[in-house]
Amino acid sequence: MSILNELFHLLLLLPLTLGTKNYGDALAKSILFYDAQRSGRLPSNNPIPWRGDSNIGDCVPGGWHDAGDHVKFGLPLSSAATLLSWSLVQFKDGYEKAGQLDQMYDMMKWVYDYFLLAWKPGQQKLCVQVGDGDADHKYWGRPEDMDMDRPCKFVSENTPGADIAGGTAAAMAAGSIAYRQKDAAYADKLLEGAKSLYNFAKGHRGVFTGGAPFYGSSGDADEMCEGAMWLYKATGDQSYLNDTMSYVDLGVAWGLGWDDKKLACQGLLYEATEEDQYKRAVEGYFKNWFPGGNVTYTPCGLAWRIKWGANRFTANSAFMALLAAEMGIEPTKYRKWAVEQINYFLGDNNHDGGCFSFEIGYGSKFPRNPHHRAASCPDPPAPCTNDQEKAPGFSPHILQGALVGGPDKDDSYTDVRTDYIHNEVALDYNAGFQGALAGIVHLQAVGKMPATNNKCPC
């Protein structure tokens, strides 16, 4: 019977491998990256053999470590969860076609459960950070071995943080839609949590400043906009849509990331209302990002916005382009651009002779030294200390699915563990990337894959 199951799985993936890229495999690996970031007591089905229980004494257990460190930061955590939930809502068939739907639900429940524990409606208090950023960043070792104090930070009636509260409400509301058909009771819990958290954020505006200097937000209107919009999608309650319209900024966004959800809210509003003002805002964004706009392009064709973690902004934009195409905004053009950007990540570049994947574990050439503590540590009982950060040779563990920060604007890239500008990995780096992969598999499933023309094909 197991042989038949294996044959069935291979047949399921066969349509995904007929082209030059196996997007289903890349999608499966990205899910594994989030599993590798798990904090807390791991379940029996943990798919990452070199990870074990960690930080089980946290005031709010569970959730995901932020990046190569072990802090749980509320703003990038909620931002990543919202984009991932959006991908599950919009491109569920992509996960299904790739044979990854159950794995995605399992992966996402880990963070949804964390949000349900972090928000205490009776106390009007949300935990927005676990761990001390400064102390954590001085520690290079396994999360399983940590014994330092991990203080918690909260937003409450006396400590504003509507940016994180609104963003977390958005993630929970989107999660309730994603879970509605699978587990209605769980979806109800997420929705009730999202409603009460959004109401708290609405009554206590302002950004959280207690996490400085890490992930300081420039404002809370974009997260409130997202929170209201996802609650409207989950409930159909017009009052949430009215709130969204009061929060939205119609200016052209610089990028989509943990600190700026402007583009996401514009797109959601266009989807809901089909009003031209929101469509023009989305089109204005991609006019800047497409060739001829104000975003730099590398010689091999990567839309390169910024040196630090260039891939994340491009990946998020590719995901949004696929979503915009589903809304009817120049589908052929937007899909072609998005797939070409993902193709660059998966090998259509000239690094290391070409065919180099910026997603760890995909293909035969990929980064082996991400700026990631757990992956750099040898198996116990061998010690793992600060010396491991600069240790020669490949990291002992392959951090499957992680999208590294990416190349410089001339396509150059060095696989060095100490280079956190180009070789960092993080929750927010993979979110839009994974969403785009699910979107591409969806296009394959419905026969709408665009013809592409990458400059440095593998």
Q: Which residues are catalytic?
A: 415, 424
CB contact burial 54-63 (16+ within 10 A = b; e otherwise)? bbeebebbbb
C-alpha to C-alpha distance for 93 and 445, rounded to whole angstroms: 8
DSSP 400-442: TTPBP----TTS-----TT-HHHHB--HHHHHHHHHHHHHHHH
| Short-list 30, 42, 119, 95, CA closest to 428 | 30
Q: What is the DSSP letter of 338?
A: H
Q: How far is CA 237 from CA 116, 129, 156, 176, 440, in A?
A: 22, 31, 26, 15, 32
* Amino acid at the residue 227: G
- Give the CA radius of gyration of the chain: 21
SS (H, E, C) 78-114: HHHHHHHHHHHHHCHHHHHHCCCHHHHHHHHHHHHHH
